[in-house]
Amino acid sequence: MEIFAAQLLNGLSLGSMYVLLVLGFNLMLLVAKIIQFAYPHLVVLSMYVCWGVLRHTDNMLLVVLASVASCIVVNVAIEPIFRLLAKRHGLDINVSFVVSMSMALLITDVMSHLLNYGYPIAFPTEWVGKSIFSSGLIAFSAGQAYALFGGIAAVAAFFYLLYRTRQGRVLRAISENSLLSSIIGIPIIKTRVLSYAIAGLLGGLTAVMFARLLGSASPGLGDFVGMKVVAASILAGLGNLKGGLVCGLLLGIAESMAIGYLAGSWSNAIAFMMMLVIMLIKPEGLFGIEA
Amino acid sequence: MKKSSMLKVEGVSVSYGPVRALENISIEVDRREIVALIGANGAGKTTLLKAILGVQKVQSGKVLFLGDDITNSSTDKVANMGLGLIPEGHLVFSTMTVLENLQLGAYHNPQDFNDNLENVFESFPVLRKRIHQTAGTLSGGEQQMLSIARTLMSKPELVMVDELSLGLAPKVVSEIFDILGDLNNKGYTILLAEQNAKKTLEFANRAYVMETGRVVLQGLTQELMSHPEVRRAYLGSNV
Ligand SMILES: Nc1ncnc2c1ncn2[C@@H]1O[C@H](COP(=O)(O)OP(=O)(O)O)[C@@H](O)[C@H]1O
Ligand SMILES: [Mg+2]
């Protein structure tokens, strides 16, 4: 029972990180009509920025600002590439998938050749923090608390933006029907760029929380997380935001439970089995495709 | 008295790849007029409306709106200048509520939102009752009304309606024509593209008859309705 509670907490903190990435990923899919496979890699790159800034200052605000700014800037800077591709090929999700995959490889290469000589980076131990609560096997670290509560706050803010604000309405309009949106006078390109910026913002925040949760990062982390983000999105149904929320959390919990109850290395086999079974039963994902 | 020209299309040609859809088209709409574009399916009516709005690229010729050259301008800019298109198929944002649809229509005109909403509800009382309902659950006629109302929220100078009556019951169509008549009395200028020639000719002041991307006839609707060619081809009469 204690293992269960401990792993549930672990899973929720990890899962809330997946949720944030799934939301950013789906937002770009819905509004800009792209598969941005390199998005988690950009987030890992922002963890490197976070780490670099931390070596010079321990001002938390500065660290967060730098991570967020770098993730927004890079993600927005990539937008013209996808716009050019769309101009050539129409909005073809396969094209953006292939191109962003090579972008992901490039980012991984940069991290493994140019940053910290390719060695994994470690965040200061006080950054992850001691356990703020422990009882028997259950321990809840400050980093986990940041990830869980920060994640909840960021997800709430995201849904508020999307469903309660004017800009959110415009984002949803383009996601539902971009031609109709442009006919009624909504600036499409500007709003698409906004979706990259919002995904960048979510990504930058995730980078900081991920750093506190994991305490380290390595060049391979982008691929590792990227695969899970895509898997959770497909499990939920591509473009389905509420489904992504549920599946991101489930994935985090399933992963933690596998680590808690089985030899850790089998968690991937479990993920594969889950994926296979769900795709056989519901190829459109648990909650249905909305892209 | 010289009438003020609101929209002027001068010798516009449009192609889809190698296929020419509009060939040297010229039309004009004056302030407070109701003008109709009639023609069979495939004549090029939708293409012309899209070319005016900048959704479809114009290869040659000019589009002037309120004296400004808007040829191939970006659609959001043109819409912001006061050109509203109600597209074919009573399109609404079906996952959003009626209110959200109307808020989107007011994208360029957020000031006086409540007054505009009140005006729109006066023209379309049924929408007031449905304000928090998801637009996808409205009937076809209600969706067409919402589509028109959404456009009115931007206070357009010119309202263009593509296939107003397509897929709607005749009773609903008459009701919507009545509302458009009222709007015209209140000062709106209207350009209608319609296959349903009879009703449209009865409603409009002037019309252009299009065939395979060209204007083949034009004039006052009373005169066109008695034109033998129009009677034969569009009004189903065997004279
Ligand atoms: N997206 C498109 N691609 C290629 N051809 C098109 C496209 N849209 C319309 N056309 C062609 O252009 C011509 C005019 O079509 P359209 O403007 O839709 O006519 P209407 O609205 O009068 O029915 C038709 O021959 C049609 O097949
Ligand atoms: Mg048409």
What tens digit of pLDDT does each residue of A240-260 get?
999 999 999 998 998 888 888
Distance of alpha carbon B18 from alpha carbon A138, whole angstroms: 70
The parent domain of residue B97 ranges over 92-154
Q: Collapsing DSSP states into helix, strand and coil, what is residue A164?
A: helix
Contact A152, A16 (CB under 8 A): yes
Element (DSSP H or E) covering residue B14: strand B5-16
- B158: enclosing H helix or E strand: strand B158-162
* Domains of chain A, start order: 2-118+138-281 (1.10.3470)
> Per-residue confidence at B239, pLDDT binned at 50, 70, 90?
very low
- Name the residue with tokens 């940041």: A146
CA distance B30 to B52: 15
Q: What is the tens place of the pLDDT at every residue in B62-82?
A: 999 999 999 999 999 999 999
Q: Is residue B106 situated within a structural domain?
A: yes
| Nearest CA owner, ligand 1 atom 12 | B21
- The pLDDT assigned to B135 comes to 98
CA distance linking residue B148 with residue B192, whole number of Å: 12
Report the residue of B107, B158, B162 to disrupt the A interface, i.e. the one with the largest count of A CBs within 10 Å. B107
Is residue B80 in some structural domain?
Answer: no
* Domains: count for chain B: 1
In a domain, B113, yes or no: yes
Contact B154 A185 (CB under 8 A): yes
Interval between CA B1 and ligand 2 midpoint (Å):
35
Instruction: Count Cβ atoms within 10 A of the Cβ of residue B178 and give its class: 0-12 exposed, 13-18 middle, 19 or more buried.
Output: exposed
Complex prediction ipTM: 0.93
Neighbours of A279 (CB within 10 A): 13
Shortest distance, CA B76 to any CA of chain A (angstroms)? 4
**For B142-180, what is each residue's pLDDT tens digit?**
999 999 999 999 999 999 999 999 999 999 999 999 999
The answer to whether residue B221 is domain-embedded is no
Q: Per-residue pLDDT tens for A210-243? A: 999 999 999 999 999 999 999 999 989 999 999 9
Instruction: Judge whether B60 lies within some domain.
Output: no
Q: Determine the residue of chain B that is closest to A177 in CA distance.
A: B93
Residue B146 within a domain: yes
Residue B40 Cα, ligand 2 centroid: separation in angstroms?
9
E strand or H helix that includes residue B12: strand B5-16
Q: What percent of chain A has pLDDT over 70?
A: 98
> How far apart are alpha carbons B66 and B4 in whole angstroms?
9
- Does residue B169 belong to any structural domain of this protein? no
Are the beta carbons of A176 and B93 separated by less than 8 Å? yes
Residue-level length of chain B: 239
CB contact under 8 A, A182 and B76: yes
* pLDDT of the residue at A64: 96
- A91-107 confidence digits (pLDDT tens): 888 899 999 999 999 99
Q: Which residue has the higher pLDDT, B238 or A259?
A: A259
Token pair for residue A279?
A: 């795709």
Is residue B218 a contact partner of residue B208, using CB atoms and an 8 Å limit? yes
Kindly state whether B143 is in contact with chain A, defined as any CB-CB distance less than 8 angstroms: no
- Which B residues, 88 through 127, put their C-beta within 8 Å of a C-beta on chain A? 91, 93-96, 100, 103-105, 107-108, 110
Inter-chain Cβ pairs, chain A and chain B, closer than 8 A: 56
Asked if residue B139 belongs to a domain, the reply is yes
Q: What is the DSSP letter of B139?
A: -
**Considering only CA atoms, which residue is closest to atom 6 of ligand 1?**
B16
